[in-house]
Amino acid sequence: MKTVVAPRETAMWRSCVTVARERYRKDYQAEITPDPDCFIAACEDTPDGIRPTACAGLTHGGGRTLLSEHYLGSPPEQALAALFGEQVDPHTVVEIGPMAAAGGGGVRLLTMLPALCWCQGAQFIVCTITELIARTVGRLGIEFVPMAEAKEHDLPVDLRHRWGTYYDTNPVTGYVDLRGYDAQLERQVDRTARLSVTGYAAPATGAA
């Protein structure tokens, strides 16, 4: 399984759009029009090249309106600033969505998203996820913090009435704090190193 970053309007980006639209249509009878800055895709090899089996859209803050803004009632950086009592640079916020899987790789991709967003300079992930995805994220050890219930009536009129049964899944908008992610990685590396040393058995010398 390969992981690919697909910038906007590339062939892989368009393939991810198709995966997301078909998944939402199948699961919720929804007709969505994904338009993220890029997709992160888990891909498999086929005779015709690689194809995405799971994908997640990434859109950076500081530019256009993010979907989560409608549910939060303000730009995500403002909602986060009010929560933490300190200014949040909008360019350090990344919105994830849509997320979709058409085969294997969905859970693996979820586990990688915090690291991939952190490597792009993000301090916060914001996303809107269903109850099922929220439970999965929790089992994976990702600390997703809910901020608001996502309701269809919070959307602009032109974005409503295309989501099918999606809002029956009780989606919530929230964040993942990546500001301490480097320290977390250091702890993981340190723990791995200690385990390696502890588990190493030196060859016996002078044995009969």
pLDDT, one tens digit for every residue, the chain (208 residues): 789 999 999 999 999 999 999 999 999 999 999 999 999 999 988 888 889 999 999 999 999 999 999 999 999 999 999 999 999 999 999 999 999 998 778 999 999 999 999 998 999 999 999 999 999 999 999 999 999 999 999 999 999 999 999 999 999 999 999 998 776 655 554 443 443 343 333 334 344 3
Question: What are the domain boundaries of the chain?
Answer: 59-196
| Alpha carbons within 13 A on the beta-carbon side of 149 | 7
Domain over 59-196 is classified CATH 3.30.460: no
According to DSSP, the residues that pair with 165 across neighbouring strands are none
Work out whether strand 144-149 and strand 124-129 pair parallel, antiparallel, or are unpaired.
unpaired
Report the predicted TM-score, pTM, of the whole model to 2 decimal places: 0.85
Side chain identity at residue 39, one-letter code: F
Helix (H, G, I), strand (E, B) or coil at 85: coil
> How far is Cα 112 from Cα 4, in angstroms, rounded to an integer?
12
User: Of 175, 124, 174, whose CA–CA distance to 150 is shortest?
Assistant: 174
According to DSSP, the residues that pair with 42 across neighbouring strands are 3, 54
